[in-house]
Amino acid sequence: MMDELNYTMLCDFYELTMGNGYFKTGLHKKICYFDVFFRKVPDGGGFAIAAGLDQIIDYIQNLHFDKRDVEYLRSKGCFDEQFLRWLKYFRFTGDIWAVPEGTPVFPGEPVITVRAPAVEAQLVETYLLLQFNHQSLIATKANRVVRAAQGRPVLEFGSRRAQGGDAAILGARATYIGGCAGTACTITDQLYGVPAGGTMAHSWVQMFDSEYEAFKAYCEIYPTNATLLVDTYNTLKSGVPNAIRCFKEILVPKGITNFAIRLDSGDISYLSKQARKMLDEAGLQCCRITASNALDEELIQDLISQGACVDTFGVGERLITARSEPVFGAVYKLAAVETEAGDILPRIKISENTAKITTPHFKKVYRLFDRATGKALADQICVWDETVDDTQPLTIFDQDAVWKTKKLENFRAQELLVPIFQAGKLVYRRPSLKEIREYCAAQVDLLWDEVKRFHNPHTYYVDLSEKLWLVKRELLRLTAEEG
């Protein structure tokens, strides 16, 4: 039954009741502008990684209501018959702009903008947020873990702890974007080409009469890529010695040097250092050590600072669930409407919680790079018809502390949002997952180290252009007068 799901129906019910209402009030053709943005980076980080766009593209291209969907909606008894008939021919006809997957993004700036007739724009809200929130969360967490590993490969091991099949599959995809070298999730390799790999469980060792026989059999079956799990019984007294014996008896005589041991319990720092000493004394300096067992960026940093002799990290539940902060929190808010004459009228949402006051209008986002270093200096959010002149000095304000300013000179301006759909047609060249991963690594490299700190990162400037700020201020004034 899951294979037969029509993801058009994966929407909050009020999207449909509002759509029906727009239809009955004649607003269903009114052009609207909605922004996806987020207010806070998970784990107190300095930036997030945008992900999930490729699945959003598939969703938009397949939007439709089939006969079964319409019959279900009719059975609810609250939808107009004309609206139900209209749904039979429903397709997305609007425009979408988005930042490419793998782009570092910051709170408050649009990462996806939808321009479409009201019903269409409303219906896509849930799925766009679902995909962006989930994959961006996991890609952001993965990038933290990968940076903590300081160049050592990180493998994603979390499928069995993910919240459902899609979370495991697409979560592993997102970890690859964030920088993980591979996954234990076989189907993610099959579908997306994320390198899948694995070794053995403790049950393999327990199935044999002795640990040595288990290791020997594995080395004979997989001689070119043997990784032996050495902590089933006693890591240092039997596990490592038996692994050394099998490597020297079976693999080394064949000239094979690509093998490893894995530590999955105990004091990883101590055990890895002792195991390294034993391996080196046996002449197996080529043998790598992999560590797993409820790791995250904080624990990996600690292990490295303690001198742990770990070459590869396997990270599971704390990565695939982003356990330390498992909600990304991006929202989808109306920013403008369009008149029949084509004029764009900004809209704003007001809240007593000032963090929830939205930035109105149809917008574009520029990233400003230092021409001398290539590093990202700040982002500026502008009205759609503005262009940043990077031949002139520019003063940027910190929106969290407007008295803080930064004067930019000798900078290059680049638009972040790129066209994805125009008039319902895909106009974006979809990069391969490998290209997305490489792009992500390159873009993160353009951030200053101070922004990439795990704790108390430097606040990256995200400013509103003067024109946009004046629009927002005027709407706030008008709203206050009406209130």
The 95-98 sheet, strands edge to edge: 344-346, 331-338, 31-37, 112-117, 95-98, 418-422, 425-426
- Predicted TM-score (pTM) of the model is 0.96
- At 322-366, the pLDDT tens digits run 999 999 999 999 999 999 999 999 999 998 888 899 999 999 999
Q: Which amino acid is at 26?
A: G
Of residues 128, 66, 117, the one with CA closest to residue 92: 117
- How high is the pLDDT of residue 1? 41
C-alpha distance from residue 99 to each of 53, 79, 199, 225, 418 (Å): 9, 36, 37, 39, 6
- Per-residue pLDDT band for 118 (boundaries 50, 70, 90) equals very high
Residue 190 has pLDDT above 90, yes or no: yes
- How high is the pLDDT of residue 266? 96
CA Rg, the chain, in Å? 26
Gap between the Cα atoms of 124 and 18, Å rounded:
12
- How high is the pLDDT of residue 401? 56
- Positive or negative, the CA dihedral 368, 428, 347, 42 is negative
CATH 1.10.10.10, domain 2-138+326-482, yes or no = no
Domain residue limits, the chain: 2-138+326-482, 150-320
In 203-294, DSSP assigns E strands to 226-229, 259-263, 288-291
- How high is the pLDDT of residue 482? 72
Gap between the Cα atoms of 357 and 2, Å rounded:
39
What average pLDDT score do residues 138-153 get?
Answer: 98
In 296-439, DSSP assigns E strands to 312-315, 331-338, 344-346, 363-370, 376-383, 394-398, 401-408, 411-415, 418-422, 425-426
- Per-residue pLDDT band for 11 (boundaries 50, 70, 90) equals very high
Q: Residue 14: how many CB atoms within 10 A of its CB?
A: 12
- b/e per residue, 297-332, with b = 16+ CB within 10 A? bbbbbebbeeebbbebbbbbbbbbbbeebeebebbb
Beta bridge partners of 462: 379
What average pLDDT score do residues 209-236 get?
Answer: 97
- At 369-407, the pLDDT tens digits run 999 999 999 999 999 999 999 999 998 876 665 556 788
- Per-residue pLDDT band for 3 (boundaries 50, 70, 90) equals low
What average pLDDT score do residues 229-234 get?
Answer: 97
Domain boundaries 150-320, CATH class: alpha beta
- Per-residue pLDDT band for 124 (boundaries 50, 70, 90) equals very high
